Structure 1
Amino acid sequence: MRSFFFLIFLLPFLATSQATSKVEKSASKLSGQWRTYYMNTFNNGSLKDFSALASGGKLKYQYRPNKKFEFGAALYNSTNFGIQDLTIPDATTGRLSRYEEGLFDRLDLENDAIFLLGELYLKFKFSAHELTIGRMKINSPLINPQDGRMIPTLVQGLWYKVKTKKSNLFQIGFLNGIAPRTTSEFFGIGESIGTYPVGRNIFGESGQYFGNTKSDFIVLFNANLKLTEKLELGVWNQFVANISNSFYVKPKLALNQKIGLEMEWLHQNKVDTGGNELAAQRYFNQNSSDIVGLRLNYKGKTSATSLSYNYILPNGQFLSPRAWGREDLFSFQKRERSEGTADNHALVFNYRTNFPILKDEFTINSIFSLGRHWKPDVTNAELNKYAMPDYTHINFDFFFNFKNWKQFKPELLITSKIANGDFPNNPSFIFNKVDLFHVDFILNYNF
C-alpha cells in the first residue's frame, strides 16, 4: 500500500521531468480543504442522544503542462476525535446513530481514521470537448458528492462532456466503481448498494440485498438544452446494469425576470432481475415508479423564495441507493429523504437571503426551509421501506463569509422533524426519524 501511494504522488513529477523546459512552475498546483465537523442529535424522551466530532479533509495535486492535459490526485481523510463511542446502541431500540456514524466508516466504526485516494484521474481537453478517466467527482440527480459528511461520494470510470456554441451541454459517463461518502474504499456497483441502511423489503422483512446485489456498471447520459431565451430543458438517463433505469426530465421556464416555473418527472423501471433472482434479496423489487414535481421560484433583490411540490405515485417505491448521493428533487431537505416510499406527497417552502454585518466585512447567507411530508402507513412495507411517519421538517442553514478571510467558510445547520398523524406506539418509528432536534457545526478552510 505504501509503494502504491508513493507511485501515485511520484507520477506527476515523472511527467514533469519528461516535459520541455518551457513548462512553467505554475503547471503544478497543490490545494485542499481542512474540515472539522461537529454533529449532535437529540432524540425524543429517553431515546439515546448522539454526538460526534471529526476532523480531516483533502489534499489535492494537479499537474497541467498545457491547456489540453491534466493529471489530478486527491487524498481524503476523516479522523474520529472519539467524544462518544458510536458502537454502543440505544438501549430501547438496539439501534446505532443514524447521522453521526456517517462522519466515519459506518461499515467499521472502530476504524478511527479513514484515508482514501478518492481522486486519481487524467483529463483531456480539445476545444469544446473534455474527457476524464479514473477516480473523480460527478454531479447528477442521483449520483453526487452530497456534501453533508466528511468525505464526498466519489466514482470511478469515464466521463465525457461537450459544450456547443448555443450553450447546450451534453455528457455521457461509464462507471464501474463507487466510494460511498466517508467510506474507506471503492466498491463495485452492486457491492456499494446496501452500504447505507437497507430498511425493509416489500414482504416486511429486513432487507437482504447488501452483498447479494449483482451489477457491474452504470451508464449515464445528460443533455442540458437552451430551447429559447426563456425555456431550458434538462434530461438525464441513468442505466444501472441488471437493476434499473431512471429517466429524469426537468423543463424550466422564466415567466419574467423575477418569476420562474420548473417541472420534473422521474420514471424508473426494473432491468433484468432487479439485482438478484431471489425476491427476498432483490434491490429493485417492483416493475416501475414515477415522481412528478412542480416548483415556483421568485427572485428579489437580496433574496430568493420557492414553493415546491412532489408526488411519488402509488405504483412503486422511488428507489435510489443512499450511498450514491442525495436525491436532487424539488422537495429535498437536508437530513431526510423521500427515497424508499410510494404514494408520498411533499410540500416545501424555501427562503434564501443574506445579512450584511459590520459594513459588509462579515455576511451571513441563510436558507430557511419548511416542509410537510405525507407518508404511507408505517406498517405498509410495500409503500414505506424505512417505516417513516408523516412529519413536518424545519431547517435553518447559515453560511458565514468573511471579506478578509475568504478561505474560511463555517456553516451551521439546525434541523427539527416533528411527527404528524397517528401511528403505532413503537419507539422504532420515532428513533432517529422524527421528534428530534439535530445540529451540525462545520468549519471549512479551503486552500
Structure 2
Amino acid sequence: MLRFILLSIFALGFHFLLKAQTEEKKIDILPEVHFRTFWMNTSYSDAEFKSDYALGMSLNLGAKINYANYWSFHLGYRSFANLRSSDIWSPDPGTGQANRYEIGLFDVLDPRDRFFGKWETFSLSYSKDRYGIKAGRTGINTDWVNAQDGRLSPTAVEGVHAWFSPVNNWKIGFWAIGRMSVRGSSEWLRVGETVGLYPQGRNVSGNPGNYFGNTDSKWLSIVEVDREFSKGSKLHFSHTLTQNLFSTTWGAFEKSKKLNQGTLNLGVQSGIQHTVGKGGNSDLSLAYKAQGDLNYALSGRIGWRNGRWITHLNYTHVGGRGRWLSPREWGKDAWYTFMPRERNEGYESLNALVGYVAYRLEKIPLQLYAHGGIHRLSEVADASANKYNFPSYRQLNVGLIYQPEKIKNLDVHLLLVSKEPLSSEKLTPNQTYNKVELLHLNGIVNWRWNK
C-alpha cells in the first residue's frame, strides 16, 4: 500500500511537470555537498577491556530541483569509508560483547566493509503557504524518531509526510513510514527489521535479547501538533504509533521571558507509553515490548541565555510498569536530560538531573560547553526493569565547536565524555564494558555546501 502511494504521488508530480507547457515556469537546480570526517576513540580504566578507535569519512552528493515555486525534487547519495580503525568487528575477549560506539560509524550489518554507499535522499514535495506533502526518502526530526546525527550519517525514513497550517500559529503534521535507513547501516529496512541492530540487552527474563530478525512491525505513524502563543510561549504534542510494538504520547509546554540582560526559559514535558499488539512477537521471550507495560515520564527545564551564555538545569522522572522503550536505532531521547553518547531508554525507573552551560567567545568563533548529569536507574539485578544491565552512573561531557569565519558552513567539533558508576560496589565486567569507567573522545570536521 505504501509503495502504491509513493508511486502515485511521483506520477502525479511528473504529470504536472510535463503538462505545464503553456505557462513560463522556472526550474532551479541547486547542487548540495555534505562532507564529514569523524575520529572516535574509547578507552577504559581497566586495561583488560578492549579499547577501540576509528577514523571514518562520508560524502553526500546531491541536488534540489525546484519547479514553479511549489514543486521540489531532492536526491542525494552518500558514500562511506573506513580510513583506519582497530578491529571493531571483534568482540571484547573478556565479556564477549560487541563494540558499541565506533562500529556505529560504518555498516553494523557488515562492519568489515570499508567502502559502501546508499541513496540517502530521494523525494518529491509540493508545498504552498499553508500546506505541503512530501513522499520518498527523506530526513526526519520528531520526538522519538529523529536524525540522531552523531555519526557519519543521520537516520532517514521512507514514506509520506504531510502538513498544514489551518490558521496562523497552528501547524499539524503527519508521517506514515514504511522503511528506515538508520545511522550505521547501508540498507533500507522495514520498521521491525531495524529493531536490534544495536546492542539488544536482556529480555524480561534476563536472557540475551534476540529482537533482531524476530520483531514484526510493518509501519509506524506520527502525528504532531504545534501551537505558538504570544509572548514566547509554545505548545507541542506528538503521538508515535508503531504497528504491533507500542504507542507513545508526548506533550510539552515551553515559555521564554525576556529579561534586561537575557532570556529566561522554562519547559515541562510529559508522556505515556503502552504496548500495542504482540509487542513485536507472540513469543514472550522474543517480544520487544512486554504485554501489560504502561509507563509515564515527566521532564522539566529552567534555563537562561544571552548573546554569549546558555545555561539550563533539567530533571526527568520515568515510572510505571515495565520498561520505557524507544529503539536506539530510531533517534535520541526526547526528554530534556538527554546527553550525547548515552540514552536512558530501557528502564522502568529513571531519575536524572542534568546541567548544561555553554559560552561563546567574543573575538574567536569558538563555543565551549559542558554537560554534567546524574542518572539513577532501576536495579541491575531486575532484568524486567533494567534492559541493558546498566548501573546508575554520572556523566560529564566537555566540548568545543569552532566555526571559522573564512570558510562558510565549516565546523570543527571536539567532545570528551566520561562515565562513572554512582555506587562503589564492585561491578561485573558485563556491567562495565560499553557502559561506565570509560573515556570517549570524538573529533568531527563537518562541511556543507549548497548553491
TM-score between both structures, scaled by the size of structure 1: 0.92
CA distance in 2 between counterparts of 1:171 and 1:377 reads 39
Distance of 1:30 and 1:13 partners within structure 2 = 20
Match of 2:348 in 1: 342
Counterpart CA distance in 2 for 1:82 and 1:254 is 46
Q: Which residue of 1 aligns with 2:158?
A: 156
Say whether 1:414 aligns with 2:430: no
Instruction: State the partner residue of 1:180.
Output: 182
Question: Counterpart in 1 of 2:213?
Answer: 211
| 1:301–1:64 Cα change, 3 Å | closer
Give, in angstroms, the shift of residue 84 of structure 1: 1.5
**Alignment equivalent of 1:285, drawn from 286, 290, 304:** 290
Contact 1:377–1:423 (Cα < 8 Å) also in 2: no
CA deviations 1:162-190 (Å, max 9, x no partner) are 23542222111100011111211110011
d(CA) in 2 for partners of 1:28, 1:255: 42
Matched AA of 1:162: F
| Distance across 1 between alignment mates of 2:382 and 2:74 | 48
Please state how far the C-alpha of 1:256 moved relative to its aligned partner: 4.7
- Worse-matched range after superposition: 418-427 or 209-218: 418-427
Partner of 1:275: 280
What's 1:263 paired with?
268
Instruction: Name the SS of the counterpart of 2:430 in structure 1.
Output: helix
Partner of residue 375, structure 1: 377
Report if aligned partners of 1:29, 1:61 keep a CA contact under 8 Å in 2. Answer: yes
Distance 2:52 2:191 in 1: 31
- 2:326 maps to 1:324: no
Alignment of 1:385-424 (within 5 A): 385-424=387-426
1:312 aligned partner:
318
Classify the secondary structure of the residue corresponding to 1:216. Answer: coil
Partner Cα separation in structure 1 for residue 286 and residue 183 of structure 2: 24
Q: Which amino acid aligns with 2:72?
A: E
Matched, 1:225 2:230: no
Deviation at 1:18? 8.4
TM-superposed CA distance for 1:23, in Å, is 5.1
- SS of 1:101's partner is helix
**CA distance in structure 2 between the partners assigned to 1:414 and 1:15 by the alignment:** 51
What one-letter code is carried by the residue in structure 1 that aligns with 2:269?
Answer: E
Task: Tell me: CA distance 1:192–1:310, structure 2 relative to 1, closer, same or farther (3 Å).
Answer: same
Q: How many residue pairs end up in the alignment?
A: 431
The worse-fitting range, judged by mean Cα deviation, of 83-92 and 133-142 is 83-92
**What CA distance in whole angstroms lies between the structure 2 residues aligned with 1:392 and 1:222?**
33
* Contact 1:200/1:381, CA 8 A, preserved across alignment: yes
1:54, CA displacement in angstroms? 0.4
> Does 1:294 find its partner at 2:300?
yes
Note the C-alpha offset of 1:365.
1.7
AA aligned to 1:288 is L
Which residue number corresponds to residue 35 of structure 1?
36
Q: Which amino acid letter does the alignment assign opposite residue 319 of structure 1?
A: L
Task: Give 1:7's aligned residue.
Answer: none
1:79 to 78, 81, 99: 81
Counterpart residue number, 2:357: 351
Q: Aligned partners of 2:258, 2:365: CA distance in 1, in Å? A: 29
Alpha carbons 1:290, 1:316 under 8 Å: kept:
no
Distance 2:367 2:38 in 1: 19
Name which of structure 1's ranges 33-42 and 246-255 shifts more when overlaid on structure 2.
Answer: 246-255
Alignment partner of 1:110 out of 106, 109, 112 = 112
Deviations 1:404-431 (A, max 9, x none): 1123211111111111114453111111
1:44 touches 1:430 (CA, 8 Å); kept in 2? no
Post-superposition Cα deviations, 1:103-158, rounded to whole Å, max 9, x if no partner, equal 00111111112201011110001331110000001100110111101111000000
Letter in 2 for 1:94: G
Q: Which amino acid aligns with 1:355?
A: L
For residues 63-142 of structure 1, what are the structure 2 equivalents within 5 Å? 63-142=65-144
Counterpart CA distance in 2 for 1:345 and 1:295 is 14
Conserved? CA contact 2:138–2:158, under 8 Å: yes
Worse overlay, 318-327 or 80-89: 80-89
Q: Structure 2: any 5+ residue segments left out of the alignment?
A: 1-12
Moved more, 80-89 or 29-38: 80-89
CA–CA distance in structure 2, aligned partners of residues 73 and 211 of structure 1: 30
Instruction: Write the mapping of 1:181-200 to structure 2, written as runs, cut at 5 A.
Output: 181-200=183-202
Task: Tell me the amino acid that sits aligned with residue 429 of structure 1.
Answer: Q
Which of 237, 240, 243 in structure 1 is aligned with 2:242? 240
What is the TM-score normalised by the length of structure 2? 0.91
State the Cα RMSD in Å: 2.0
Opposite residue 273 of structure 2, the aligned amino acid is Q
Q: Which runs of 5+ in 1 are unaligned?
A: 1-11
Q: Secondary structure at the match of 1:82?
A: strand
Contact 1:77 1:151 in 2 (8 A): no
**Are the counterparts in 1 of residues 231 and 257 from structure 2 also a CA contact under 8 Å?**
no
Cα deviation, 1:299-333, whole Å, max 9, x if unaligned, reads 23421111000011142211001111111211100
> Alpha carbons of 1:230 and 1:408: their partners in 2 closer, same or farther (altered >3 Å)?
closer
Task: Report the Cα offset of residue 22 of structure 1.
Answer: 4.9
Q: Percent same amino acid at aligned positions?
A: 26
Q: Secondary structure at the match of 1:280?
A: coil
